[in-house]
Amino acid sequence: MVKKRKKHRTMGKKLFIFLGIAILAVFSILNIPFLEKMIYPYPNRAIIEKYAEQYGVDPLLVVAVIREESKFFSQSESPKGAKGLMQLMPGTAQSIAESLGDKTFNEEDLLNPEKNIQYGTWYLASLQRAFANNTMLVTAAYNGGRGHVQEWINNGQLDRNNIRLQDIPFKETRDYVGRVMKSYAQYKKLYRK
């Protein structure tokens, strides 16, 4: 009897998941923005837009980065030690704090959405300046490091004028850039005024 109930529960879960996916697929095909906005939400919008405007970054790129970095979980921490919504490394954040003249910064501030978004957006802006506003290079540098991207350009692995996703040498960075670019396109479609 117990096995039968367990089997029914498992089948019920699978059916529920299947129906959920089917419903999302239908709404996506019918281009119903409400459900798409559930898949691509825009939490912390006021904070994102505040710092995006202050530092000259597209807020929709910021939210796409947050979606792929932390899935909007402000307390997230990677195995490598990156923290918060935009998954900043403490050393990077300390350097940003010094650049901003923030003498009160401590590592726990990275779990504060406002501070994390401020610092992450500032960092995206600095990468935009370094890579002439090329979104693919900026995104690759955000994940793989500014130095690596510059090295790939210098040694000809990446052509600054014709960047192709498949040319990014690190698989992790290549996959990350692909996910962020897909999310960014969706955010532009759903939220661009």
Give yes or no: residues 62 and 143 share one domain: yes
Q: What is the pLDDT of residues 20-57, one digit of tens each?
A: 677 666 666 666 677 889 999 999 999 999 999 999 99
Q: Looking at the structure, do residues 32 and 64 belong to the same domain, yes or no?
A: no
Q: Residues 11, 76: one domain? A: no
Mean pLDDT across the chain: 91
d(CA 184, CA 176): 12
Residue 77 belongs to domain spanning: 42-191
The total number of structural domains that make up the chain: 2
pLDDT of residue 30: 65
pTM of the shown model: 0.84
Q: What is the pLDDT of residue 155?
A: 97
Expressed in angstroms, the distance from the first to the final Cα of the chain is 57
pLDDT band at 75 (very low <50, low <70, confident <90, very high): very high
Helix (H, G, I), strand (E, B) or coil at 175: helix
Pair (23, 58) in one structural domain: no
Q: Which two tokens stand for residue 123?
A: 């960092």
What would the mean pLDDT of 119-146 be, rounded to a whole number?
A: 98
Looking at the structure, tell me whether residues 84 and 9 fall in a common domain: no
The whole-number pLDDT of residue 192 equals 92
Looking at the fold, whether 113 and 29 belong to one and the same domain comes out as no
Instruction: Pick the catalytic residue from 69, 107, 108, 172.
Output: 69
Same domain flag for 165 and 127: yes
CA distance 139 to 9: 43
Contacts of 112 (CB under 8 A, 6+ apart): 74, 84
Residue 7: pLDDT over 60: no
Residue-level pLDDT at 4: 54
Identify which has the larger pLDDT, 89 or 10: 89
90 and 169 in a single domain? The answer is yes
Q: What is the pLDDT of residues 76-129, one digit of tens each?
A: 999 999 999 999 999 999 999 999 999 999 999 999 999 999 999 999 999 999
CATH number at residue 49: 1.10.530.10
Contact 186, 36 (CB under 8 A): yes
Are residues 60 and 79 both part of a single domain? yes
Q: What is the mean predicted confidence (pLDDT) over 59-66?
A: 98
Rounded Cα distance, 85 and 110, in Å = 8
Distance CA 83, CA 95 (A): 15
Same domain, 34 and 58: no
**Domain co-membership, 13 together with 49:** no
Catalytic annotation present for 172: no
**Distance separating alpha carbons of residues 117 and 124, to the nearest angstrom:** 10
pLDDT of residue 6: 54
* Residues 9 and 46 occupy one common structural domain: no
Residues in the chain: 193
Per-residue model confidence (pLDDT) at position 189: 95
Mean pLDDT, rounded, for 9-27? 70
Instruction: Count the Cβ atoms, other than its own, within 10 Å of residue 29.
Output: 8
